Amino acid sequence: MATELKNLSSYDSTKIANGKGRRIGIVYAEWNEEITYALRDGAVNTLVENGVDEQDIHLASVPGSFELIFGASQMVKSGKYDAVIAIGCVIRGDTPHFDYICEGVTAGLSKLNVEYDTPVIFGLITTNNLLQAQERSGGRLGNKGDECAVTALQMIAQFK
């Protein structure tokens, strides 16, 4: 993930497997849409830059990050995709909801990775405030959507 020390948006494209013919599902949350749309667009652009045909990228929105589990699960079970990317943004608020949602999504997506043969890429940004999310969705620390796309292509090349 993009941190103060590492910005994976500046990947070396010569080391990324070409995505021609790969089919990618992207499920993204509408909650905090300023952030999730930027992450989604970053992922799509990076996939296309690395050879994936635009018509082989299928987008599906869900209301909030908690619904990423169901959306990703449906995509995986459809058998249509070589990889699925789940994108959301949870910003810490005044209630324990942040922890419940983060833990729920992490556990749900992890379960899919163990139980099925399609890699599910974790594109959930979890931050203390909006600025930190902006910095990681096209700001100072790159775009985690780019990183998800690169990760998806690496996982497909390695295991499919």
Chain residues 26-65 in contact with ligand RBF, contact rule CB under 6 A: 29, 31-32, 63-65
Q: Tokens 């509408």 correspond to what residue?
A: 30
Q: Does residue 51 sit in helix, strand or coil?
A: coil
Contacts of 117 (CB under 8 A, 6+ apart): none
Q: Measure the CA–CA gap between 12 and 32, rounded to whole angstroms.
A: 30
Q: Is 21 in the site for ligand RBF (CB under 6 A)?
A: no
Selected catalytic residue, list 77, 97, 111, 140: 97
Say if strands 83-91 and 137-139 run parallel, antiparallel, or are unpaired: unpaired
Chain residues 75-104 in contact with ligand RBF, contact rule CB under 6 A: 88-91, 93, 95, 97, 101
- Residue 139 pairs with which residues in a beta bridge? 142
Annotated catalytic residue 97: yes
CB-nearer residue toward ligand RBF: 44 or 69 = 69
Number of residues that bind ligand RBF (CB under 6 A): 16
Site track 100-139 with ligand RBF (rule: CB under 6 A), x = hit: -x--------------------------------------
Q: Measure the CA–CA gap between 77 and 43, rounded to whole angstroms.
A: 22
Task: Tell me the closest approach of the beta carbon of residue 92 to ligand RBF, in angstroms.
Answer: 8
Q: Measure the CA–CA gap between 87 and 67, rounded to whole angstroms.
A: 11
Catalytic residue numbers read 97
Which spans of this chain sit near ligand RBF (rule: CB under 6 A)? Answer: 29, 31-32, 63-67, 88-91, 93, 95, 97, 101
